[in-house]
């Protein structure tokens, strides 16, 4: 059973805009029940030898996720993607800590249809 929804920036081309993006995530989180901003750097070996940087927002998965309940959040995240020209991955974190990517959000994402697809994918 999954217990967290997550919306994280995809890729690493956001580094220069990170402070402004984090401020936007903080504003969104302050207006979303149970939301938490994630700003975590982990050093992992990779080709570019850059630290892995997780930037995004998490929130508890409600017992019953309804489309109308997340459309407002998705709309704010789409605006953020447009403003900073970034893409996000949306998904679930299970109780054992395993993450599953479900959908992607970018500046052209339509919030209503995304929310419907996202809820449908979560419900399986």
Could you write out the DSSP letters of every residue in 39-98?
EEEE----TT-PPEEEEEEEEEPPSS--HHHHHHHHHHHHHHHHHHT-EEEEEEEETTS-
pLDDT at 78: 93
| Domains, the chain, with CATH or none | 2-123 (3.30.70)
Q: Any residues with CB less than 8 A from the CB of 58 and at least 6 apart, and which?
A: 4, 5, 6, 7, 35, 36, 38, 93
What pLDDT is recorded for position 2? 55
pLDDT score of 7? 93
Tokens of 103: 């959908």
Segment-wise mean pLDDT, segments of 10 residues, the chain, 124 residues: 82 84 94 89 60 83 71 91 93 85 91 86 75
Per DSSP bridges, beta strands 52-60 and 36-42 are antiparallel
Question: pTM value?
Answer: 0.83
Q: What are phi and psi of 108, to 5 degrees?
A: -100, 0
Using N-to-C axis directions, what is the helix angle for 67-84 and 111-123, rounded to 10°?
A: 120
């Amino acid at each position: 059973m999954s217990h967290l929804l997550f919306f994280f920036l995809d890729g690493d081309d956001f580094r220069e805009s990170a402070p402004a993006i984090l401020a936007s995530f903080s504003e969104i989180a302050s207006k979303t029940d149970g939301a938490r901003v994630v700003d975590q750097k982990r050093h992992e070996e990779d080709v570019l030898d850059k630290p892995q940087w997780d930037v995004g927002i998490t929130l508890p998965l409600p017992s019953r996720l309804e489309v109308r309940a997340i459309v407002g959040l998705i709309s704010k995240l789409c605006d953020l993607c447009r403003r900073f020209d970034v893409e996000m991955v949306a998904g679930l974190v299970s109780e054992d800590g395993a993450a599953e990517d479900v959908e992607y959000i970018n500046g052209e994402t339509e919030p209503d249809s995304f929310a419907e697809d996202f809820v449908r994918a979560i419900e399986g």
